[in-house]
Structure 1
Amino acid sequence: MTVTTSPLLAVRALTVRYGAAQALRDVTFDLAPNSALAVLGPNGAGKSTLARALSGLVPPVAGSFALDGRDLTGQSPDTIRRAGLVHLPEGRGVFPTLTVMENLRMATACDRRGRAAAVDRAFEIFPVLRERQRQAAGTLSGGEQQMLSLARALMVDPRLVIADELSLGLAPRMVDVVFESLRRARAAGVAVIMIEQFASRALDFADRCLVLQRGRIAWSGDADRAGPELLRRYLGEATAA
């Protein structure tokens, strides 16, 4: 007997425009629970637009998306976040003048009763943050700031995290920290959509891959099938490396 699992995220014909320019066109895919999807493509392909549309930052002009069967199309970013979809945008989503602990507490401002348990969970996943809890977030290394950003996301018990270029501008050792942090998120039962400049590393991390080109899906399939020839075809030599 074959058991089918309902998708955690179901995206159907999602279309986004910025004025007259079409940024996404008829994007359709499913994401299984506790899985990882690598979203790749050249600059301007629509990767960050997809993340912004799914997190409610830009409204789609057509299509729909649902999380765990709940239609979230056109909902506010706050409603989408409370439903369990958290977007970590390019750049470090922390308050630099606040301490690590203050940043973590800010993430649970709407749930003061569960705050202590949530902070403990963040420190359990990222022990280095416990050591840095009294340190201003702006004085952390780039990788540690990304770790704090991810910890803030995981504290609200998300079902899905969209990691948008978290490794951008980081030293190689800090890139390792970011990927390890995302692996810990998956181990905690969180699904991940990864938009990433390092295509080969994203594919090693992900189960599935989606390649965008000019706002459309150019290719999709298992991550281990997205070999070097396919990446060069769609991404070019530099991006595929």
Structure 2
Amino acid sequence: MSRTSQRSTFRVLAGMVIPVYRLFARSHWRGRENFPDSGGFVVAANHLTELDPITVAYPVYASGIMPRFLAKESLFRVPVVGTIIAKIGQVPVYRGTSRAKDSLVAALAELDSGGAVIVYPEGTITLDTEMWPMRGRTGAARLALKAGVPVVPMAHWGDQEILYRDPSGHRTVSLWPRKRVDVLVGEPMHPEDLVPGGLQRPGHPSSDELTKATESIMGAITDLLGELRQEEAPRELFDPRAGKAAP
């Protein structure tokens, strides 16, 4: 696939979803010029709510690039939904199974063909009580470093005012009045930015290299979010595995 393949199929879906989204969201984007003109890249974004896939994919799609997500494999088995996401080229993630590596292979193939893969490094909606990003998982860094492509950090703020799920799982919905949703796209972070001096083994990042690269990515996302919120970003991110800010 390429960054524009299956666009006609996606256009049909977007033609139904985007008008509904715009009924309750006023999108304001900055930094779309930071999407690379050619070649594959990873979009790494913060995760606020279940609306994020639309909020994040919309500016990518509007830039003429087909957005691809890493989606849970179970979604592909849901009637109708599974058929749709398969037809628009989304990448199934097989967690905890013998096929776990298949998603990495599929995502790398997408990047090698010049496509864009969207990843939420946090892995889930933030549990931080102030809604700052949490410590990230290494998936986005692994993809970028193995494929030798840049990571484009992205932050967004506002869609949590439409649909919000607090850390306890309680949801609130507010569709009116329309809410402003801001998206800020940062400058691409190339492999040499993620691992200064380059990988010791090109194409095979070590655990330490992945950790440092992930910290750089999450730092960039957090700084962008601080700019959107016009607040000072935290120096330490919430660690969901420890239940506290990172040491």
Q: TM-score, normalised by structure 2?
A: 0.38
Q: TM-score, normalised by structure 1?
A: 0.38
